[in-house]
Protein backbone atom coordinates (compact mmCIF):
# COMPACT_ATOMS: atom_id res chain seq x y z
CA UNK A 1 0.00 0.00 0.00
CA UNK A 2 1.50 3.31 -1.09
CA UNK A 3 1.54 6.28 1.21
CA UNK A 4 -1.19 8.82 0.30
CA UNK A 5 1.28 11.67 -0.13
CA UNK A 6 3.48 9.49 -2.35
CA UNK A 7 0.44 8.88 -4.56
CA UNK A 8 -0.16 12.63 -4.80
CA UNK A 9 3.50 13.29 -5.65
CA UNK A 10 3.90 10.52 -8.20
CA UNK A 11 0.67 10.88 -10.18
CA UNK A 12 1.20 12.34 -13.63
CA UNK A 13 -0.94 12.39 -16.71
CA UNK A 14 -0.62 9.52 -19.15
CA UNK A 15 -1.06 10.26 -22.85
CA UNK A 16 -0.72 6.74 -24.25
CA UNK A 17 -2.38 3.66 -22.78
CA UNK A 18 -1.93 -0.06 -23.41
CA UNK A 19 -4.99 -0.67 -25.55
CA UNK A 20 -4.93 -4.44 -25.21
CA UNK A 21 -4.57 -4.44 -21.45
CA UNK A 22 -8.04 -3.80 -20.00
CA UNK A 23 -8.71 -2.48 -16.52
CA UNK A 24 -9.75 -5.25 -14.17
CA UNK A 25 -13.35 -5.14 -12.91
CA UNK A 26 -12.24 -4.94 -9.24
CA UNK A 27 -10.07 -1.92 -10.01
CA UNK A 28 -12.89 -0.20 -11.89
CA UNK A 29 -15.22 -0.83 -8.94
CA UNK A 30 -12.61 0.46 -6.46
CA UNK A 31 -12.23 3.65 -8.51
CA UNK A 32 -16.01 4.14 -8.75
CA UNK A 33 -16.44 3.55 -5.04
CA UNK A 34 -13.69 6.06 -4.25
CA UNK A 35 -15.37 8.63 -6.52
CA UNK A 36 -18.67 8.15 -4.72
CA UNK A 37 -16.95 8.52 -1.33
CA UNK A 38 -16.14 12.15 -2.16
CA UNK A 39 -17.94 14.84 -0.18
CA UNK A 40 -20.84 16.60 -1.88
CA UNK A 41 -23.09 19.54 -1.11
CA UNK A 42 -25.83 18.35 1.26
CA UNK A 43 -24.60 14.79 0.57
CA UNK A 44 -26.77 14.94 -2.56
CA UNK A 45 -24.07 13.63 -4.92
CA UNK A 46 -25.39 15.77 -7.75
CA UNK A 47 -23.45 13.99 -10.46
CA UNK A 48 -23.44 10.78 -12.48
CA UNK A 49 -20.51 8.73 -13.71
CA UNK A 50 -20.81 7.11 -17.13
CA UNK A 51 -18.53 4.12 -17.75
CA UNK A 52 -17.36 3.93 -21.35
CA UNK A 53 -15.58 0.80 -22.57
CA UNK A 54 -16.89 0.08 -26.08
CA UNK A 55 -14.28 0.99 -28.70
CA UNK A 56 -16.87 2.76 -30.87
CA UNK A 57 -17.84 4.99 -27.93
CA UNK A 58 -14.21 5.68 -26.98
CA UNK A 59 -13.79 6.82 -30.58
CA UNK A 60 -16.74 9.20 -30.20
CA UNK A 61 -15.15 10.63 -27.08
CA UNK A 62 -11.89 11.10 -28.98
CA UNK A 63 -13.70 12.91 -31.78
CA UNK A 64 -15.54 15.09 -29.26
CA UNK A 65 -12.15 15.92 -27.69
CA UNK A 66 -10.73 17.40 -30.88
CA UNK A 67 -9.13 14.09 -31.86
CA UNK A 68 -6.83 13.89 -28.79
CA UNK A 69 -4.76 10.76 -29.36
CA UNK A 70 -4.61 9.87 -25.68
CA UNK A 71 -8.38 9.45 -25.54
CA UNK A 72 -8.34 7.06 -28.50
CA UNK A 73 -5.82 4.77 -26.80
CA UNK A 74 -7.71 4.50 -23.49
CA UNK A 75 -9.37 1.13 -22.86
CA UNK A 76 -11.73 2.80 -20.41
CA UNK A 77 -13.09 6.28 -19.81
CA UNK A 78 -15.29 7.63 -17.05
CA UNK A 79 -17.42 10.59 -18.01
CA UNK A 80 -18.35 12.71 -15.02
CA UNK A 81 -21.59 14.64 -15.46
CA UNK A 82 -23.30 17.22 -13.32
CA UNK A 83 -26.93 16.85 -12.34
CA UNK A 84 -27.86 20.48 -11.86
CA UNK A 85 -31.55 19.75 -11.38
CA UNK A 86 -30.78 17.64 -8.32
CA UNK A 87 -28.62 20.31 -6.68
CA UNK A 88 -31.06 23.08 -7.58
CA UNK A 89 -33.97 21.41 -5.77
CA UNK A 90 -32.21 21.85 -2.42
CA UNK A 91 -29.84 24.75 -2.99
CA UNK A 92 -31.49 26.86 -5.71
CA UNK A 93 -29.29 28.92 -8.00
CA UNK A 94 -26.07 28.22 -6.06
CA UNK A 95 -26.76 24.51 -6.26
CA UNK A 96 -27.40 24.63 -10.02
CA UNK A 97 -24.49 26.89 -10.91
CA UNK A 98 -21.83 25.87 -8.40
CA UNK A 99 -22.48 22.82 -6.22
CA UNK A 100 -23.31 20.37 -9.01
CA UNK A 101 -20.04 21.33 -10.72
CA UNK A 102 -18.06 21.07 -7.48
CA UNK A 103 -19.62 17.69 -6.65
CA UNK A 104 -18.74 16.26 -10.06
CA UNK A 105 -15.25 17.76 -9.96
CA UNK A 106 -14.29 16.42 -6.56
CA UNK A 107 -15.66 12.99 -7.50
CA UNK A 108 -13.39 13.09 -10.56
CA UNK A 109 -10.41 14.00 -8.37
CA UNK A 110 -11.12 11.15 -5.95
CA UNK A 111 -11.42 8.74 -8.88
CA UNK A 112 -8.13 9.91 -10.37
CA UNK A 113 -6.28 9.42 -7.09
CA UNK A 114 -7.88 6.03 -6.54
CA UNK A 115 -6.75 5.05 -10.04
CA UNK A 116 -3.17 5.99 -9.14
CA UNK A 117 -3.41 4.06 -5.88
CA UNK A 118 -4.58 1.05 -7.92
CA UNK A 119 -1.55 1.23 -10.21
CA UNK A 120 -3.49 2.66 -13.17
CA UNK A 121 -2.51 5.57 -15.37
CA UNK A 122 -4.99 8.34 -15.96
CA UNK A 123 -5.66 11.47 -17.95
CA UNK A 124 -8.20 14.11 -17.01
CA UNK A 125 -9.61 15.51 -20.24
CA UNK A 126 -11.51 18.76 -20.10
CA UNK A 127 -11.10 19.98 -23.68
CA UNK A 128 -14.13 18.50 -25.38
CA UNK A 129 -17.37 19.62 -26.94
CA UNK A 130 -20.07 18.98 -24.38
CA UNK A 131 -22.80 18.62 -26.99
CA UNK A 132 -20.78 16.02 -28.91
CA UNK A 133 -20.19 13.93 -25.75
CA UNK A 134 -23.83 14.33 -24.78
CA UNK A 135 -25.05 13.20 -28.19
CA UNK A 136 -22.35 10.54 -28.64
CA UNK A 137 -23.29 8.81 -25.37
CA UNK A 138 -27.03 9.53 -25.69
CA UNK A 139 -27.04 11.08 -22.22
CA UNK A 140 -30.30 12.08 -20.53
CA UNK A 141 -30.83 15.83 -20.93
CA UNK A 142 -30.29 16.69 -17.24
CA UNK A 143 -26.69 15.40 -17.27
CA UNK A 144 -23.92 17.73 -18.39
CA UNK A 145 -20.50 16.13 -19.01
CA UNK A 146 -17.73 18.11 -17.31
CA UNK A 147 -14.73 15.78 -17.26
CA UNK A 148 -13.55 12.68 -19.07
CA UNK A 149 -11.19 10.53 -17.02
CA UNK A 150 -9.23 8.17 -19.27
CA UNK A 151 -7.94 5.13 -17.42
CA UNK A 152 -5.67 2.25 -18.27
CA UNK A 153 -2.19 0.86 -18.01
CA UNK A 154 0.45 3.31 -19.24
CA UNK A 155 2.27 2.67 -22.51
CA UNK A 156 4.73 5.47 -21.78
CA UNK A 157 6.65 7.06 -18.98
CA UNK A 158 4.75 10.16 -17.90
CA UNK A 159 6.25 13.57 -18.53
CA UNK A 160 7.12 15.08 -15.19
CA UNK A 161 5.40 18.40 -14.70
CA UNK A 162 6.31 21.05 -12.15
CA UNK A 163 4.18 23.17 -9.88
CA UNK A 164 4.36 26.83 -8.97
CA UNK A 165 5.97 27.54 -5.62
CA UNK A 166 3.73 27.58 -2.58
CA UNK A 167 4.49 31.25 -1.99
CA UNK A 168 3.02 32.07 -5.43
CA UNK A 169 -0.12 30.13 -4.62
CA UNK A 170 -0.90 30.82 -0.99
CA UNK A 171 -2.10 34.01 0.61
CA UNK A 172 -2.47 34.45 4.35
CA UNK A 173 -5.41 36.41 5.66
CA UNK A 174 -4.96 38.97 8.40
CA UNK A 175 -7.30 41.70 9.61
CA UNK A 176 -5.29 44.09 7.34
CA UNK A 177 -6.04 41.98 4.26
CA UNK A 178 -4.24 39.15 2.48
CA UNK A 179 -0.49 38.82 1.92
CA UNK A 180 2.13 36.25 1.03
CA UNK A 181 3.71 36.13 4.51
CA UNK A 182 2.24 34.13 7.38
CA UNK A 183 0.94 36.51 10.06
C1 LIG B 1 -9.69 20.62 -15.68
C2 LIG B 1 -8.60 19.90 -16.41
C3 LIG B 1 -8.68 19.77 -17.80
C4 LIG B 1 -7.68 19.07 -18.49
N5 LIG B 1 -7.83 18.85 -19.84
C6 LIG B 1 -6.90 18.15 -20.51
C7 LIG B 1 -7.08 17.83 -21.89
O8 LIG B 1 -8.10 18.12 -22.49
N9 LIG B 1 -6.08 17.15 -22.50
C10 LIG B 1 -4.92 16.76 -21.86
O11 LIG B 1 -4.04 16.15 -22.49
N12 LIG B 1 -4.75 17.03 -20.54
C13 LIG B 1 -5.71 17.69 -19.86
N14 LIG B 1 -5.57 17.91 -18.50
C15 LIG B 1 -4.36 17.41 -17.81
C16 LIG B 1 -3.42 18.54 -17.49
O17 LIG B 1 -2.85 19.04 -18.67
C18 LIG B 1 -2.35 18.04 -16.51
O19 LIG B 1 -2.96 17.56 -15.35
C20 LIG B 1 -1.35 19.14 -16.14
O21 LIG B 1 -0.59 19.52 -17.26
C22 LIG B 1 -0.39 18.70 -15.03
O23 LIG B 1 0.28 17.52 -15.44
P24 LIG B 1 0.22 16.20 -14.56
O25 LIG B 1 -1.20 15.73 -14.54
O26 LIG B 1 1.11 15.24 -15.29
O27 LIG B 1 0.72 16.54 -13.20
C28 LIG B 1 -6.56 18.56 -17.79
C29 LIG B 1 -6.51 18.67 -16.40
C30 LIG B 1 -7.53 19.29 -15.72
C31 LIG B 1 -7.49 19.34 -14.20
| Tens-digit pLDDT profile for residues 106-147 | 999 999 999 999 999 999 999 999 999 999 999 999 999 999
Is the separation of the CB atoms in 30 and 151 below 8 Å? no
What is the architecture of the domain spanning 4-179? 3-Layer(aba) Sandwich (3.40)
Q: How far is the CA of 123 from the centre of ligand 1 (A)?
A: 7
Distance 34 CA to ligand 1 centre (A): 20
Nearest CA to ligand 1 atom 29: 124
Number of the ligand 1 atom closest to the C-alpha atom of 12: 26
Ligand 1 surroundings by CB, under 6 angstroms: 12-13, 68, 70, 123-127, 158, 161
Give residue limits of the domains in the chain. Answer: 4-179
What is the rounded CA–CA span in Å between residue 175 and residue 108?
A: 36
Cβ burial of 98 (10 Å; 0-12, 13-18, 19+) is middle
pTM: 0.97
Amino acid sequence: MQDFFEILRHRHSIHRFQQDWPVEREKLMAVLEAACAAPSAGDLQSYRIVVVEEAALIQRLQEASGGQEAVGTAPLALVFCTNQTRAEKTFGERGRKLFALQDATIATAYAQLAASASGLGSLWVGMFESEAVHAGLKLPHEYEPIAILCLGYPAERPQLTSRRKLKEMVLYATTDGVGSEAG
